[in-house]
Amino acid sequence: MSGQLAIDFGTSNTVAALWEAATGEGHTLPLANLTRMMRDPQDREFHAVPSLMHYHGEAGVWVGQQVVEKNLIAATPGTFRWMKTFVGSQTRLPRQVGPRSIDNFTAAGDFLRQILLAAGAYANVAEEEVAFTVPVEAFEHYQNWLDGVVQSAGILRPRYLDEASAAALGYAAKIRPGAPFMTFDLGGGTLDVSIVRVDDTPNGQPRCRSLGKSGAQIGGSAMDQWLARDAAAKTGRDPALLRAFFPRLLQEAERVKEMLTNSEAETFKARDPATGASVEHRYTRGAFEDLLDANGLYTKINAVLDAAEGQAREHGYDRDHLQSVLLIGGSSLIPSIRRLVRSRYGERVRCERPFDAVAAGAAAFIAGAGFDDRIRHAYALRPYDRATGQYVYKTIVRPGTSYPCEIMRPDDSTKPLVLTIKASQEQATKLGLQVYEVAERTSVACGGGGLDLVFDQNGAARYAQREDDADSTHREIGSATFLHCQPPAKLGDPRFLATFAIDDQRHLCISVQDSQTGKTLCRNQPMVKLT
């Protein structure tokens, strides 16, 4: 069998899908003994790989369902979970596993390579295009990491699509052309919301036009952390004293959370075989929902929905125009979350394929389904302002910018944006430009008092202050681009004139002219890749 392959690397589960031209849809793949068969709310079967990686011996590994069957989910330090979330937050945290030092980036890369190796039975991954999905709120380092993994696996023709767009394509065949709809994707690590409109094309393939996107670093794994900490506290135990036992508490928290999706009550019960310490507390669904509320989950969800709706209004579409709201991700099945979404959108809320729509949509993308996408984040430069004696951020790319395009003046869209680059010191021989990605405050995670769960080198759990609690909303991306001055520039000399464009691969490109010599130093030179 050969066809268009797509990989949706998830925090809790990873799905591989292949496009079938005969049926006109993507279907999930059973990858040897790595996958498990699951059923969605419509009683449809699908295949998923638990996102688990376990190292043993000098070079041995167990992957996905193998880890589950060997009861090694909570085994420390050899088992790695939530790898995608840790990569997204740049949390390496190396552990000593036997003779090897392994961090979350390495484990996630090894996991994906194993997935691609197994998927080679269904597609020629070395020659065909392979689609990979990325979170809406992924910053450039995540895409750079994924690029490195993909290249090391021998994938020569990768294509990337954000998860919300892929989910929209996964449902597109059932959506009336011309009507906007929303995908609400709440999975293990992130919340991604996308509002799109499906357009007809001459070849009959659906083409989705993006109207609004927003997201946050929040999902099922955060809920597990809140529940585990709460259970320990209600039992009278200090979570800090249960560090080595905490992975087992998290495993139990995940089970209780899933049970409360369909049951009114469930007992949290976990015991540390090493010390005999136990944590036990009975939760009602209402108590669990109160815990989510106390950690700000519902407020965060409403903020993300408001942000996506606000962007869609700029395109002439408000909430009432939405034809459907499609639920994606296991965490979207939690009753209180479904009620929240339904309270905003009523009977338009649908839940037909919450687990595999992203992978199926990415497979459709590779097969030719179009997506008129836009740049998700804002991007800025940081020139020196002599009047204030400080460096200031100047946004040059705004969220929702279509590409490819030339960057135009914000006050006159008929004229290109031209920046004058001045020397900040005497006899400067080179001037540098650094690009910054502007982080939206709605993308910040909630709950935990600004803490993230991290693991030490032995696999024990602890909490650390999150970087996103800082005041800074700008992050450096890529390397600084340097312009060489010959002859040297004087202090304050307006030496260079720069214009910008975004190419069809989402690269921010720069063209520079030396105002003193009249020479063009570069034309459409790529600086960084935008998301």
pTM over 0.85: no
- Nearest-5° Cα angle at 240, 234 to 246: 80
**Radius of gyration for the alpha carbons in the chain, expressed in angstroms and rounded:** 24
Residues 385 and 363 in one domain: no
What is the per-residue pLDDT for 389? 67
Residues 225-251 pLDDT 10s: 999 999 999 988 776 667 778 889 999
Q: Is the pLDDT of residue 278 over 70?
A: yes
Which CATH number fits the domain that encloses residue 501? 2.60.34
- Contact between 512 and 520 (Cβ < 8 Å): yes
Does the pLDDT of residue 325 top 70, yes or no? yes
d(CA 281, CA 278) in angstroms, rounded, equals 10
Contact 300, 306 (CB under 8 A): no
Question: Do residues 50 and 82 lie in contact, with contact meaning Cβ atoms separated by under 8 Å?
Answer: no
| 8 A C-beta contact, residue 225 and residue 258 | no
Which single residue is written with the structure tokens 């700008």?
474
Look at residue 481 and tell me if it is in a domain: yes
In a domain, 422, yes or no: yes
3-state secondary structure of 96: strand
User: Looking at the domain assignment, is residue 287 inside a domain?
Assistant: no
Q: How many domains does the chain have?
A: 2
492, 468 Cβ separation under 8 angstroms: no
Domain boundary (322, 345, 372) is at 372
Q: What is the pLDDT of residue 139?
A: 61
Q: Are 189 and 84 a contacting pair, CB within 8 Å? A: yes
- Average pLDDT (452-475) is 54
Termini Cα distance of the chain: 33
Nearest CA-CA partner of 51 in 62, 40, 38 = 62
pLDDT of residue 313: 94
Domain membership of residue 335 (yes or no) is: yes
Per-residue pLDDT averaged across 478-503, rounded? 83
* Residue where a domain stops, chosen among 330, 353, 372: 372
Same domain, 72 and 111: yes
| Boundary of a domain, candidates 327, 357, 372 | 372
pLDDT at 312: 93
How is 284-347 classified by DSSP, letter by letter? Answer: EHHHHHHHHHHTTHHHHHHHHHHHHHHHHHHTT--GGG---EEEESGGGGSHHHHHHHHHHHGG
User: Do 309 and 421 fall within a single domain?
Assistant: no
Mean pLDDT, the chain, integer: 86
Mark whether 336 and 367 lie in a shared domain: yes
Whether 513 and 496 map to the same domain: the answer is yes
CA-based torsion, 36, 37, 38, 44: positive or negative = positive
Query: Is pLDDT at 425 greater than 90 in this prediction?
Result: no
* Residues 187, 108 within the same domain: yes
Per-residue pLDDT, averaged over 130-144, amounts to 81
Which has more confidence, 471 or 41? 41
Quick one: which of 160, 216, 174 has its CA closest to 192? 216
pLDDT for residue 468: 45
The percent of residues in the chain predicted with pLDDT above 70, rounded, is 89
The 3-state DSSP composition of the chain as helix, strand, coil percent (nearest 5) reads: 30, 35, 35
Most confidently predicted of 60-69, 155-164, 428-437:
60-69
All residues at 6 or more sequence positions from 412 whose CB lies less than 8 Å from its CB, including other chains = none
pLDDT for the residue numbered 432: 75
Distances (CA, A) of 12 to 53, 76, 85, 189: 12, 18, 10, 8
pLDDT given for residue 1 in this prediction: 40
Domain-located, residue 234: no
Residues 368 and 385 reside in one and the same domain? no
Confidence of residue 173 (pLDDT cuts 50, 70, 90): low
Q: Confidence class of residue 146 from pLDDT cuts 50, 70 and 90?
A: very high
440: pLDDT strictly greater than 80: no
Residue in the block written with tokens 């030339």:
406
pLDDT at site 469: 44
Q: Is the predicted pLDDT of residue 110 greater than 70, yes or no?
A: yes
For residue 136, is it within any domain? yes
Nearest to 166 by CA among 215, 205, 131, 141: 131
User: Using CA atoms, how far apart are residues 163 and 196, in angstroms rounded to an integer?
Assistant: 13
Residue 514 is part of which domain span?
378-441+472-529
Average pLDDT over residues 280-305: 96
Q: How far apart are CA 146 and CA 135, in angstroms?
A: 12
11 plus 62 within the same structural domain: yes
Q: What is the pLDDT of residue 454?
A: 57
Supply angle C-alpha 20, 22, 24, rounded to 5.
60
Instruction: Check which CATH number belongs to the domain holding 359 and give it.
Output: 3.30.420.40
Q: Are residues 12 and 93 in the same domain?
A: yes
Tokens of 48: 């998923």
> Does residue 358 share a domain with residue 481?
no
The sign of the CA dihedral 470, 474, 477, 482 is: negative
Distance CA 271, CA 260 (A): 21
Helices first, then strands: H and E counts in the chain: 11, 35
Residues 31 and 176 in one domain: yes
Per-residue confidence (pLDDT) for residue 463, from 0 to 100: 53
* 273 part of a folded domain: no
CB atoms within 10 A of CB 326: 25
Which of these, 258, 252, 215, lies nearest to 232 by C-alpha position? 252
pLDDT at residue 145, as a whole number: 92
Highest mean pLDDT among 238-247, 303-312, 393-402, 508-517: 303-312
pLDDT category of residue 193 using cuts at 50, 70 and 90: very high
Pairing of strands 405-406, 25-28: unpaired
Residues 36 and 153 in one domain: yes
Can you read off the two tokens belonging to residue 391?
């460096």
User: Is 203 part of a structural domain of the chain?
Assistant: yes
Task: Output the pLDDT for position 429.
Answer: 79
